[in-house]
Structure formats: C-alpha cells, structure tokens
C-alpha cells in the first residue's frame, strides 16, 4: 500500500506552480496551432478548409488553459507524491541511447539491451553485468523470434549480422 | 432469422483449424501480457498489434478477439492477487478480490471472476450479435452531419462527463485532437503541424501514441514513485474451486453485472468504470452478508467482473456498427482494423460480413477458451507475476519499443515514442486521464472530415447540423453531457465513496 505520510506534499490550498506551467504550455500549443493554420494557403472550396479546425481546437485549448490556470491558482490540483528524478532520468537516458544506437545503425539487440539495463537500474538494480547478460539474451531471443520467425523487419547491426 | 444465418456462417469461419489456432494464441498472449502488473487491456492490444502485422485481416482480427478478452482476464487476475488494478474498471475487483486472496480464498475469487466473465461475455456477445444488425440499419441512414454529432457525444462523454475533473478530461481530449491534426489533410493535401519534418506528414501513429502513453509513461511513473509502493503477491492457497455456497452467491451478481455492463458499454458513453461500480454498490446493497463487504465478499468480485466483461463486449457494438470507439481499448481495436485499411461501420457489415461475423463468433470461442485455459493455468500466470519489478519493466520497455522499431525504425518515430512517454508520465503525475487522448487522436480526424463533408454538401451552411433531427438531438445530448458535470460537480463522486 502507499505510505502517504512519507513523501506526500501537504494538501496546500496555495498556488500550484506546476499547474501554472501546464496552463502556459496549453496556451503555447494553442498559439502554435494558430500560427501553423495561418501558414496554410487559403483554398477556394465550399464549407471549411483545412485551416478552420486547428483554429477551433486552438480556441478550445485557450479556454482549457484558462480553466487549468484557475484550478492551479485555487490549488485545486490533486495531491502529488514526491517523485524520484534519478529513476526518470535513467529511463530517459536509456531511451536516448536506444534512439542513438538505432540512428547510427547499431542494430536492435544493442539498442534494446541498453534500454533494458538502464531501466532495470532505474528500478534500483545494481547488478550491472548480470542485467547486461539477461538483457542481451532476452533481446536476442526477441530478435530471432520476431525477425526470423514472424518476419518483422527489425534493424540489423553488427551483432545481428553474426546470427 | 438473418442473424442466426450470419452467426452460423461466422462460426463456420471461426472454427477453421487455423483460426482456432489464432484465437488460442491470442487468448494466451493476451492473458500473459494482461496479467503483468500495470498493463491494462488497451496496452495489451497496443503491444501485441505488431505481432499481427503479417497475418491476413481475418486471422488477425480473430487473434485480436482473443487478445482483448485475454487481456481483460489477465487484468483481473492481477487485481485479485496483487491489488494493482491495471485499469480503473478492475478497481472494484481489487477491492474485494484481493481481500479474498489475503484470506486464502484466492482460488474461488479467480474462479468466480473467470466464470462470471465467461457468463457475462457470452450473454453480451449474444446481445452484440442481435443488436448490431438493428444499429446497422439505423446507421446507414446517418448523414455526415449525424456522424459528426455522434462523435461530439462520444468526445464529451469519454472526457468530461464521467471523469473526476471535466477540465482535466477535456484537456486530455484536446491534446489528442491536436495530435490528430498532424500530417497531410486528406481533403486538400495541405500539411498541418508537420514543421517540414517528412516523417510527420503521415500523422501520428495510434500505436506509437498508445504505447508511449501507456507503457513508457507507466514505466516512468512507477519508477518515479517506486519508494512509495510495495507490491505483495498473494499466493493461491487452498482449493481453486468454488463451493456450493460460492456458486449460490455468485450467479445472481453475474447476471446483474451483465445487465449493468452490456447496455452501458453499448451506449456511446464509454468506460467500464460506471457499470462496475454500479454493480459493486448494488451487490453491497442486496447481499445477505453486508458485514463481509470490504473484507472479501465473493459477490463484490462476481458482479463487477461480469459487468466489466459485459461492457467490454458492449463497447464493440458502437465500434463495429458505427466505427465509434468509446474506450482506449476500443480505440486500439479500431487501429487494428485500420492497419488493414478496414473501417468499421455499416459498410463493413455489408462488404465484409465474413470478417465481422467471424470476429463475433470468435468472441464466443475466445471466451470459452479462456474458461478452459485459465483456471488450470493459473499457476503459470502467478509465476509471471513473480518476475522482479526491474526486469519486468525493462522487458515491457524493450517489447514496447520493439513495436515501434518494427513498424517505423526512424529516429523521429522513436523520439515521438519517448516524447509521448514523458507526456504519459506527466499526465499520470498530474492526474489527467489518458484514454481521451487516444480517442481524440483516432476520432478527431474522422469527426473533422465528416463535418467538412456535411458542410460541403450544404454549400457551407452550418445550419445543416441542426436541420437533421438526428444530428440536432445528438448535439443537444452532447451539450447536456458537457454542462451536467459542472452543475452536478462530479457525477463520479459515488466512486470516491466506494473507496
């Protein structure tokens, strides 16, 4: 069960800064929508062209930004527990590694093994070598099963060419 | 009776050995993935979509039927044994089921949930088979303006009406609608929100969004707060079988749960939460053993589980007949159809009856297979639950990224997956519902093209939306559904009372 007492922030009725950031982001997206819609050349046709819907959605987002802002100022956001930034950053680093390895042609096994090891470290594992071996075996099996048996095309790198 | 003939024909397709094998694989994979903690049926379907890429549409949809029901069954096993419902619809099950498991009655809890799901699924599938032709008859009379109005109803009910906060629900929906704009506009060929990136011209893939939001987002969220939780798996002790007493206490909740689940699921209102909680509170009121509620009452597992399964079959009614997904899982099913260029709706019934009725017949078969497979295999599922959390989530992420890598191995697509993962994490952290994003992405472009078609036919006169009686009625319903939660301040309040 959750231990509410340990990391829970007090249920403040004050201004929620994160909520204001959310409202700001929504407003920014609305502006991007309007800007992008203005780039679309007007076409002559009956009814509505492709630029109308973005503007309608932008108006909706603008109203919702305001509503979220009101919620944030009133402190109406649900309480949050403290988060562990290291764990989140580790997984994101794993995803970045995966994208880089795929981008540079390192292949499926190398890329997903990197993600496996960082994720498992994010969840508190410190046995780096063990996880590396488990990750490599698991992803090799997945590669063989899906690339060879189910003929999905997974990107091949130096390791895959050895198989 | 047409329905009987069509269903018999579908049955003949579904029992072909290859199709039976597909259903079996689907049920097995669906349960295996669905049983993993934190993975609900929507993500199960999203994760397993790539597996079906290479099959023919018929076989793949049949496998889907199995994955769908298997994922639901797996989710309730997790809810009972470790009290982490993969979706809000399993919350009622977790409430009583986990208490039963703690008291050493995990076996009967799993059994009543399995048999209840079977009973409810079967009745609801019969309902689906007989209701669909009528709805198809109505749906063929729908003009584009009526479809647009219907989608407005779905948008509002999915996001605003039944959630905890209409503002946050609508915010989620509009994020989805925004993502739906990305790419080439189908009517004019103009690029929108592509910012000169060629990969964005095709639009946002539903699977990338769903896997990012559900799988990557969930992994980030669980990792961020792993210090707060400690999961404990209850061993399945004692007999697996239900006693006479258990049967006596279960059969009425099964039927009542089905009666709640199917109609509410079939309405374009979305969500299995309402029927499961209605069923839970009804059983609590009707039971002869009120003192057991909150401590592991079998009625509290039997009813909500039946309601959950019946509503899952119910959501297939608007999905198949109108092409209208009203839950994240249904949206994923629609994505499954779309990967073969198939659009569910009245036309599909006319053009590909073999496909539709084969799918419906397969639901019966998948349901039966689950009943036969799951109770004997419960030991295997429990072992899956015992995978240590770090490896479990590492494996989930590997599998989740594999789907995207297989479909589009590009840096842009994978960056989008990671970006949606961060979005999913933030939405969980700040308590924004996820399903409306997926529904918005998939329904938004369809709603827009229906609206533009309607306006093109009326030569740009927006009054066409109010001149059609169907459309006018539906728009009023949507408006009421939008305003009601602000006035009543939380139709979902009864949920809080049950916790």
Residue A119's Cβ-side half-sphere holds a number of Cα atoms within 13 Å equal to 33
Q: Do A96 and B418 touch (CB under 8 A)?
A: yes
Residue B150 has pLDDT above 80, yes or no: yes
Q: Do A152 and B406 touch (CB under 8 A)?
A: yes
- Compute the distance between CA of residue A147 and CA of residue A120 in angstroms, rounded to an integer: 25
Complex ipTM value: 0.88
H/E segment holding residue B191: strand B191-192
Cβ B440 vs Cβ B172: under 8 Å = yes
pLDDT, position B181: 93
B452: chain A residues, CB-CB within 8 Å: 47-48
Token output for B384:
């899956």
pLDDT, position A27: 95
pLDDT, position A94: 95
Q: Do A47 and B460 touch (CB under 8 A)?
A: yes
CA end-to-end span of chain B, whole Å? Answer: 46
- Compute the distance between CA of residue B305 and CA of residue B87 in angstroms, rounded to an integer: 12
Q: Do A102 and B418 touch (CB under 8 A)?
A: no
Measuring CA to CA, which residue among B304, B330, B321 is closest to residue B438? B330
A51-97 pLDDT, tens per residue?
889 999 999 999 999 999 998 888 878 878 778 889 999 999 999 99
Identify the bridge partners of residue A8 per DSSP, sorted by sequence position.
A81
B27-66 pLDDT, tens per residue?
988 888 888 877 778 888 888 877 777 778 888 888 888 8
Q: Is B235 exposed, middle or buried (0-12, 13-18, 19+ CB in 10 A)?
A: exposed
Q: Do B395 and A138 touch (CB under 8 A)?
A: yes
Closest CA–CA distance from residue B24 to any residue of chain A (Å): 17
Of chain A residues 70-109, which have a CB less than 8 A from chain B? 71, 77-78, 80-85, 87-88, 90-92, 94-96, 98-99, 102-103, 108
Give the chain B residue whose CA is nearest to the CA of A93.
B418
Measuring CA to CA, which residue among B356, B223, B366 is closest to residue A86? B223
Q: How confident is the model at residue B419 (pLDDT cuts 50, 70, 90)?
A: very high
Domain residues of chain A, as ranges? 13-74, 85-162
pLDDT, position B148: 92
pLDDT, position A2: 38
pLDDT, position B269: 62
Helices (H), B323-388: 328-338, 346-351, 353-374, 378-385
Measuring CA to CA, which residue among B152, B135, B156 is closest to residue B144? B152
**Which of left, alpha, beta for B405 (phi over 0: left; psi -120 to 50: alpha)?**
alpha
For residues B490 and B352, the model is more confident at B352
A137–B contact, CB cutoff 8 A = no
Cβ A117 vs Cβ A94: under 8 Å = yes
Q: Is B283 exposed, middle or buried (0-12, 13-18, 19+ CB in 10 A)?
A: buried
For residues A9 and B192, the model is more confident at B192
Cβ B416 vs Cβ B204: under 8 Å = yes
Closest CA–CA distance from residue B162 to any residue of chain A (Å): 17
Residue A8 has pLDDT above 50, yes or no: no
């Amino acid at each position: 069960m959750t231990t509410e007492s340990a990391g829970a922030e007090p249920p403040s009725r004050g201004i929620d800064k994160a909520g204001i950031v959310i409202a700001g982001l929504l407003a920014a997206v609305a502006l991007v929508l309007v800007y992008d819609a203005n780039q679309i050349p007007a076409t002559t046709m009956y009814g509505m062209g492709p630029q109308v819907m973005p503007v309608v959605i932008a108006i909706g987002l603008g109203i919702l930004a305001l509503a979220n802002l009101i919620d944030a100022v009133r402190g109406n956001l649900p309480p949050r527990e403290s988060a562990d930034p290291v764990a989140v950053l580790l997984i994101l680093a794993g995803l970045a590694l995966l994208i880089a390895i795929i981008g540079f042609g390192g292949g499926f096994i190398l890329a997903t093994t990197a993600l496996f090891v960082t994720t498992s470290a994010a969840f508190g594992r410190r046995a780096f070598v063990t996880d590396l071996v488990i990750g490599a075996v698991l992803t090799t099996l997945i590669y063989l099963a899906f690339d060879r048996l189910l003929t999905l095309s997974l990107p091949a790198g130096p390791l895959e060419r050895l198989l | 009776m047409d329905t009987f003939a069509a269903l018999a024909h579908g049955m003949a397709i579904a029992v072909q050995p290859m199709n039976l094998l597909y259903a079996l694989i689907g049920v097995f994979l669906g349960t295996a993935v669905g049983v993993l903690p934190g993975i609900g049926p929507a993500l199960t379907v999203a994760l397993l979509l790539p597996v079906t890429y290479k099959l023919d549409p018929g076989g793949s949809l049949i496998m889907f039927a199995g994955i769908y029901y298997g994922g639901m069954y797996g989710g309730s096993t997790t809810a009972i044994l470790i009290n982490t419902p993969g979706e809000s619809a399993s919350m009622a099950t977790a409430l009583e089921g986990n208490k039963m498991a703690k008291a050493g009655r995990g076996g009967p809890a799993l059994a009543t949930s399995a048999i209840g799901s079977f009973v409810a699924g079967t009745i609801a599938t019969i309902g689906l088979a007989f209701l669909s032709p009528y709805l198809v008859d109505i749906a063929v009379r729908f003009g584009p303006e009526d479809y647009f109005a219907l989608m407005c109803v779905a948008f509002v009910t999915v996001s605003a009406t039944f959630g905890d906060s209409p503002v946050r629900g609508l915010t989620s929906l509009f994020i989805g609608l925004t993502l739906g704009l990305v790419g080439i506009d189908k009517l004019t060929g103009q690029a929108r929100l592509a910012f000169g990136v060629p990969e964005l011209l095709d639009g946002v893939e539903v699977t990338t969004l769903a896997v990012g939001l559900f799988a990557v987002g969930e992994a980030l969220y669980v990792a961020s707060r792993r210090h707060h939780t400690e999961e404990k798996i209850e061993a399945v002790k004692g007999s697996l079988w239900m006693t006479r007493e258990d049967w006596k206490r279960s059969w009425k909740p099964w039927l009542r749960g089905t009666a709640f689940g199917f109609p509410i699921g079939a309405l374009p209102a979305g969500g299995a939460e309402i029927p499961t909680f209605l069923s839970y509170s009804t059983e609590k009121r009707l039971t002869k053993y009120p003192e057991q509620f909150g401590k592991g009452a079998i009625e509290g597992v039997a009813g909500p589980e039946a309601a959950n399964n019946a509503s899952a079959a119910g959501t297939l009614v608007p999905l198949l007949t109108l092409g209208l997904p009203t839950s994240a899982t249904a949206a994923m099913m629609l994505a499954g159809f779309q990967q073969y260029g198939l659009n569910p709706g009245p036309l599909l019934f006319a053009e590909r009856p073999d496909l539709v009725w084969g799918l419906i017949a397969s639901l019966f078969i998948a349901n039966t297979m689950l009943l036969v497979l799951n109770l004997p295999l419960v030991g295997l599922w429990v072992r899956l639950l015992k995978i240590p959390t770090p490896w479990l989530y590492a494996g989930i992420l590997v599998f989740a990224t594999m789907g995207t890598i297989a479909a589009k191995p590009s840096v842009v697509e994978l960056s989008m997956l990671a970006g949606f993962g961060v979005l999913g994490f933030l939405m969980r952290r700040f308590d924004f519902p996820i399903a409306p994003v997926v529904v918005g992405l998939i329904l938004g472009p369809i709603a827009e093209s229906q609206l533009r078609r309607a306006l093109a036919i009326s030569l740009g006169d927006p009054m066409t939306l109010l001149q059609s009686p169907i459309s006018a009625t539906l728009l009023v319903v949507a408006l009421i559904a939008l305003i009601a939660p602000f006035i009543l301040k939380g139709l979902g309040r009864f949920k809080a009372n049950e916790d």
